[in-house]
Amino acid sequence: MRCLSCDKNLTDFEATRKSAFTDEFIDLCNHCFASVSDDLQTIERADLAHEDDYSDEIDSQLDFDIDRDY
């Protein structure tokens, strides 16, 4: 499975992330998902997450916050 935005291979954790409302898979890597994560409620399989999944998410959020125009 690949990210719909950047075409990166998804981890098992990223590939199983679903919308809480539609039950459809999100299919975005953590980096791409970070930009929309505040707007979407999701169901995630924390048992599939590795340390790298969380560090990517934190790094992506920091990049997104820095890129914003205030």
What is the tens place of the pLDDT at every residue in 3-52? 999 999 999 999 999 999 999 999 999 889 888 888 889 998 888 887 77
Contact 3, 36 (CB under 8 A): no
> How many whole angstroms separate alpha carbon 48 and alpha carbon 61?
21
> How many whole angstroms separate alpha carbon 12 and alpha carbon 62?
23
Domain boundaries, the chain: 12-67
**pTM of this prediction?**
0.68
Long-range interactions of 19-23: CB distance < 8 A, separation 24+ = 19/43
pLDDT above 70: residue 64? no
